[in-house]
Amino acid sequence: MSDAPLHPRNPTRDVRVGRIHVGGGHPVAVQSMTATKTQDVDATVGQVRQLEEAGADIVRIAVDSDRDARALAAIRARTSVSLSVDLQENYRIASVVAPHVDKIRYNFGHLHHHETRRPVIEKLAVIVEAAEKHGCALRVGVNCGSVDPAKKGKFGGDDVAEMVASAREHCEMLESLGFTRFIVSLKDSDPNKVIDANRRFAAARPDVPLHLGVTEAGLPPDGIIKTRVAFEQLLSRGIGDTIRVSLTVPNDRKKEEIVAGRRILDDIAAGRFRSVPVFESKSLNIISCPSCSRVENEAFVELAERVRDVTVYAKEHAITIAVMGCRVNGPGETDDADLGLWCGPRTVNLKRGEETVGAFPYDEVLVVLRRELDALIAARAGQPVG
């Protein structure tokens, strides 16, 4: 863990995650996530060890199938770092994975959408029971594209308020079940919203440890810059207990997330700030999710790099292009972008806002993307399209 003296820190409670303590005045923990196929035990163990050697305090692994869940026992037996597991829609799998990990991360948007006739509190109780039985901490994951459906539109279009309200409600649910060993994360691809959401939540619940991150930060160096902006503005105010730098990089470069996180912590501790109070996005903004085990085609990372290269001519235009690597984040988290690409096993789904343009082979989608980008630029300039 970093011993960077970040003060004053919010007086958050101490949450133990395996051999690591998050909150309670402990050093800010740095974490990352594996990008290998979880059921490939050798590859996943290798990446966990690589991240630990780079300085990771916690390593998160995604479980997307029964085979992934069964692989966890073997992964745990060959690793020593604190392990977190990322549940998807199947909350029932918590009892299977809990014996082999130190923390379970769930996204309550998924809880609301899965088995919709069953009350959320009952589904959450299943996760809590598994966590209590096996000594696991929980992370309540709040992403911009996945909030409590009942909160949508209740705050006059203030999506940050929706995130914060959803997070606070789930904290109250967990506490009503007698469970307090939890951490909260409120993430967005816009650093401004990350700063705003975490400041609002910390003001309301200064006792709850916070996991900081800019989701889908994208390719380095831009992804590091976006993340640095958010971290500098939050950690310097004492907000944040553990961090993750989410970068779109190949598997063999995942350790760059840890290196970047530790460098940011060291710079903040030394008073070396590189950001201004507000992150202005008045130019082309390419966001892309970090590579993880849910990516269905490794060509996703190369595609993200090619998108950056072929769109450089539009750098002076305030347009957002999102590149998502899987069916989990892709459909919903490209909706707010001007142009979105979410990648399947063989084709890339191209969207214009919430409208689907079509599905195209990896080697053809860039031509269509440029056509859509040119049309968007022309439309904003009031020029005839085509």
Spatial distance between the Cα atoms of 264 and 223, rounded to a whole number of angstroms: 13
What integer is the mean pLDDT of 346-372?
93
Q: Any idea what DSSP says for residue 317?
A: S
Report CA torsion sign: 103, 266, 221, 191: positive
Q: Do residues 245 and 215 lie in contact, with contact meaning Cβ atoms separated by under 8 Å?
A: no
230 vs 64 pLDDT, higher one? 230
> Which of 126-130, 240-244, 288-292, 361-365 shows the lowest mean pLDDT across its residues?
288-292
Residue 8 confidence (pLDDT): 74
Q: In terms of pLDDT, which residue wins out, 267 or 148?
A: 267
* pLDDT band at residue 276 under the 50/70/90 scheme: very low
> How many angstroms separate the CA atoms of 151 and 161, rounded?
9
pLDDT at 57 over 90: yes
pLDDT higher than threshold 70 for residue 7: no
Dihedral over Cα of 131, 122, 327, 141: its sign:
negative
Give the containing element (helix H, strand E) for 371.
helix 365-380
Percent of the chain at pLDDT exceeding 90:
59
Q: How confident is the model over 145-204, as pLDDT tens digits?
A: 777 777 777 888 899 999 999 999 999 999 999 999 999 999 998 999 999 999 999 999
Average pLDDT over residues 63-83: 93
Residue scoring higher pLDDT (213 or 342): 213
Token representation of residue 30? 């740095």
- pLDDT score at 5: 44
pLDDT of residue 277: 43
Q: What are phi and psi of 226, to 5 degrees?
A: -60, -45
- Lowest average pLDDT, out of 8-22, 59-73, 106-120, 348-362, goes to 106-120
**384 has pLDDT over 70:** no
Neighbour tally for 278: CB within 10 Å: 11
Residue 103 has pLDDT above 60, yes or no: yes
231-260 pLDDT, tens digit per residue, is 988 998 999 999 999 998 998 999 999 999
∠ CA 164-166-169, nearest 5°, is 105
Domains, the chain: 15-269 (3.20.20.20), 285-380 (3.30.413.10)
| Mean predicted confidence (pLDDT) in 346-355 | 91
Q: Say if pTM beats, i.e. exceeds, 0.85.
A: no
CA nearest to 295, candidates 56, 113, 38, 4: 38
- pLDDT (0 to 100) of residue 275: 56
The pLDDT of residue 38: 93
- As a whole number, the mean pLDDT across the chain is 88
pLDDT at 114: 77
The 10s digit of each residue's pLDDT in 290-349 is 766 667 777 888 888 899 899 999 988 989 888 888 776 667 667 778 999 988 888 999
